Amino acid sequence: MKIAIPVDEKSLETSVGQSFGRTPYYLIYDTVSKESVFLDNSAVASQGGAGIKAAQTIVDNNVNALLTPRCGENAAEVLKAAHIKLYKTIKASIKDNIDALNEGKLSLLEDIHPGFHGHGGK
Amino acid sequence: MKIAVLSGKGGTGKTLVSVNLASVAKESIYIDCDVEEPNGHLFFKPTDIKSEKISIKIPFADEKLCKGCRKCVDFCKFNALAYIINKLIVFDEVCHSCGGCVIFCPEQALSEKEKIIGEVQRGVSENVAVITGILNTGEASGIPIIKKLLCGIPAGNEISLIDCPPGSACIVMESIKEADYCILVAEPTLFGVHNLNMVYELVRLFDKPYGAVLNKCLEGENPAENYCLEKDIKILGKISFDSELGTLNSNALISVRENKKYRDMFSSLLQIVTKEVQHEPVINP
Amino acid sequence: MNQLLILSGKGGTGKTTIASAFIMLSEANAYADCDVDAPNLHLIMNQSTEAKRSDYYGLPKAEINLDLCTQCDLCRQNCRFEAIRVDAGYKVDCYACEGCGVCEAVCPAGAVSLKPIIAGELMLYVNDTVFSTAELRMGSGTSGMLVTEVKKQMKSAANEAELAIIDGSPGIGCPVIASLSGVDLVLIVAEPSVSGISDMERIIKTAEKFQVKIAVCVNKYNTNLENTKNIVSFCQRLKLPFVGKIPFDPAAVKAINKGQSIVELDCAAGRAVKSVFEKTIRLLNRTCDINSIVTGNSNDYIIIKKRIK
């Protein structure tokens, strides 16, 4: 399956990004072929609705699951409509998160935060 | 005669001044443009209230006509649209109601529905017609409500007092757009003077005639007064720091209706203001 | 970073006065002024270094090239914001323009384009503390976006800081909503007047919509003891923590006017704010402890524990 993870740099050694909508890049990883691709997040420059635009990008790349520490309600709505599963990342490396997912150790992300009218981002 | 009352800093006395000036006039209109935190109605306690809901237009798609070209998604500068598995999703709170997606849809699949963001309440309190704008909590912008509040106010000699929001951003600007004159209410504090500077620049940017009312004046040096003298801002009047006035205000009582001394004070202030307004050349015939 | 935001609903209740006192008492290494329409915190928190200044670009605004304009009027007809005027040629009112791009797309002559404009200025002071602030150009929109930039600037300059104190703005709209993002606790400074109570209720409703924890205190309580009592009962009814009351104090007014925080001298308001501060910090730590336990971030828990004096 194809998974997406927000990341701060285009490298597998980097840490998991803190925000879904405004992370600079996404790692798209295929758990079967073990291929990884880095996507630029075009939503990062948005004034508002970054989560929505980011979610559309994820959907358009045929991702099956998203691993993220946080997700806003607008992005969550888009992802849910596309039947993409949301998992909560653990405070560990990308590799550890992928392993945890494969071992069924990652929990679903249930704490969806409300929209901030286009001015969100911690 | 539309008189806007603004201040930059919050809590300087905009509502005190606008409510009492409106009350002391023979007949007047009081318009509360502080739609996020309207307070005037707490003082006036208006009756015969007629409420009008204010809404903005939000697009929605006719799924039968939508071909999924995504032209709307790509056009939207606010990212309010997403296209997921053959369905267009619209995000109300992010939508700015510009109508662009509706115009540019090649299949004409988009129409608009109304979303209520607040209301305008019109009522009466003795000699004052009280018009209050209220923004629903959670909504980001009260501008459409302010626009509604200010349209249909008769031009002419009837006195209208426009109670503005604090600050100097777009909602304040919208509130003073139609004003014939601006009263800047200043308090004698460091913060008050700093923020007075911002609204002073705003009224000059909009070419509005203006004057200042110094509130909460104490003995000794008054930094607000010094600022006005320095910038050649006409001081229309001074209201002393007065605990009796403060208490009446704190209990949402209209001072001019409670005590003759305040009635006299605000009457002379109103006279000075109207004289000032009449002396100004007519800007918008 | 644990974020404490100070809001009020009503203007003039004492947010900046209390925020500056809290910053001094907590020795917070990071603080921000999110009242970008009328920033005042810098007047009390004197800085030893110059600020790093950067331009803030708000939404791009439409601009009409009169050489290409054929005066077909399509732009004005389609503008929902009444931002296009005819005044010796077609002109865009940059204060009303929301940057939606309809005029640009509708113009048959390619005479309209969206151009980025400077809507304010961001300031960042970095010495032994990090202070982030900004000023919006008056008449500008997008104050919410600027608030987000102020917080982002603070976070990136001080990402090791344990506690950040944020001075908020009055109202309940865009800039307030933007400031609520990512905050751990909101302290609402209420004024015991009918207006103050009405405004307090609306800001509480707003904060609750965004699921942020709330605490309430009363400033200038001695100006109306009856209303102060009403606020306390209101908090009890809604099960909101009431963290104390501060008197109106002429000595405090004098201090603020001199650019001093009320805890830099001995006065009644200063003493009262210390108690409010202690209760608020304890509440903040408890809120963060709970979050830390839930996410299993035990290292954070230890750091926060150390903060309780």
Q: How far is CA A63 from CA A29, A54, C151, C231, in A?
A: 9, 12, 32, 51
Tell me whether A34 touches chain C (CB under 8 Å). no
Find the range with the poorest average confidence among B200-209, B248-257, C148-157, C286-295: C286-295
Q: Over the stretch C191-223, which tens digit does the pLDDT of each residue have? A: 999 989 999 999 998 888 777 889 999 999 999
Long-range (24+ apart) CB contacts under 8 A made by A44-49 are A46/A118, A46/B79, A47/A118, A47/B77, A47/B78, A47/C59, A47/C99, A47/C142, A47/C145, A48/A117, A48/A118, A48/A119, A48/B78, A48/B79, A48/B94, A48/C145, A49/A74, A49/A118, A49/B76, A49/B78, A49/B79, A49/B80, A49/B91, A49/B94
Q: Over the stretch C95-140, which tens digit does the pLDDT of each residue have? A: 888 899 999 999 999 999 999 889 899 999 998 899 999 988 876 7
Q: Is C85 helix (H, G, I), strand (E, B) or coil?
A: strand
What's residue C309's pLDDT?
Answer: 31
Domain count, chain C: 2
Give residue B282's pLDDT band: very low, low, confident or very high (50, 70, 90). Answer: low
Find the range with the poorest average confidence among B20-24, B60-64, B138-142: B138-142
Q: Do C111 and C27 lie in a common domain?
A: no
DSSP annotation of C94 reads T
Tell me whether C100 touches chain A (CB under 8 Å). no
What's residue A114's pLDDT?
Answer: 65
What's residue C101's pLDDT?
Answer: 95
Structural domain includes residue C121: no
Nearest to B96 among C100, C203, C256 (CB): C100
Q: Give the residue among B134, B149, B60, B151 at the shortest CA–CA distance from B97.
A: B60
Whether C308 has a pLDDT exceeding 70, the answer reads no
Which helix or strand (DSSP H or E) is residue C283 part of? helix C268-295
What's residue C55's pLDDT?
Answer: 94
Q: What is the distance in angstroms between the Cα of C235 and the nearest Cα belonging to chain B?
A: 19
Structural domain includes residue C107: yes
Annotate C252-264 with DSSP letters as a single string. HHHHHHTT--TTS
Q: Note the maximum CA span of chain A.
A: 39
Reported ipTM exceeds the 0.85 cut: no
The reported pTM is 0.81
The CA distance from C114 to C64, in Å, is 9
Nearest to A122 among C145, C182, C211 (CB): C182
Give residue A117's pLDDT band: very low, low, confident or very high (50, 70, 90). Answer: low
Q: Do C283 and C298 lie in a common domain?
A: yes
All residues of chain A having their beta carbon less than 8 Å from the beta carbon of residue C177 are: 116-117, 119
Q: What is the distance in angstroms between the Cα of C231 and the nearest Cα belonging to chain B?
A: 14
Structural domain includes residue C206: yes
Annotate chain A with DSSP letters as a single string. -EEEEEESSSSTTSPBPS-STT-SEEEEEETTT--EEEEE-GGGG-SS-HHHHHHHHHHHTT-SEEEES--BHHHHHHHHHTT-EEEEPPSS-HHHHHHHHHTT-PPB---PBPP-TT----
Structural domain includes residue C157: yes
Sign of the torsion formed by the C-alpha atoms of A76, A82, A88 and A91: negative
Domain A2-102, CATH 3.30.420.130 — does that match? yes
Q: What percent of chain A has pLDDT over 90?
A: 37
- Give the domain CATH number at C94: 3.30.70.20
Q: Do C271 and C198 lie in a common domain?
A: yes
Q: What residue of A is the nearest CA neighbor of B73?
A: A53
All residues of chain A having their beta carbon less than 8 Å from the beta carbon of residue B84 are: 56, 59, 78, 81-82
The CA distance from B236 to C58, in Å, is 36
Preferred mutation among C18, C36, C37 to probe B, highest tally of B CBs within 10 A? C37
Whether C181 has a pLDDT exceeding 90, the answer reads no
Whether C148 has a pLDDT exceeding 50, the answer reads yes
The CA distance from C134 to C129, in Å, is 17
Write down the domain spans for chain A: 2-102
Q: Which architecture characterizes domain B2-54+118-279 according to CATH?
A: 3-Layer(aba) Sandwich (3.40)
Which helix or strand (DSSP H or E) is residue C53 part of? strand C52-57
| Span between the terminal Cα atoms of chain C, in Å | 18
Q: Do C143 and C198 lie in a common domain?
A: yes
Q: What residue of A is the nearest CA neighbor of C173?
A: A117
Backbone φ and ψ of B78, nearest 5°: -110, 5
Q: Do C63 and C50 lie in a common domain?
A: no
Q: Do C82 and C50 lie in a common domain?
A: no
Q: Whole domain around residue C102: which residue ranges?
A: 59-116
CATH T-level topology, domain B63-108: Alpha-Beta Plaits (3.30.70)
The residues, ordered by sequence, that sit 6+ positions from C48 with a Cβ below 8 Å of its Cβ are C127
Pair of tokens at residue B240: 């002393």
The neighbouring-strand residues paired with B182 are: B4, B210
The CA distance from C77 to C84, in Å, is 9
3-state secondary structure B223-261: HHHHHHHHHCCCEEEEEECCHHHHHHHHCCCCHHHHCHH
Contact between B78 and B146 (Cβ < 8 Å):
no
Q: Give the residue among B5, B33, B28 at the shortest CA–CA distance from B17.
A: B5
Write down the domain spans for chain B: 2-54+118-279, 63-108
Tokens 């039947």 correspond to: A83
Q: Do C258 and C140 lie in a common domain?
A: yes
Structural domain includes residue C158: yes
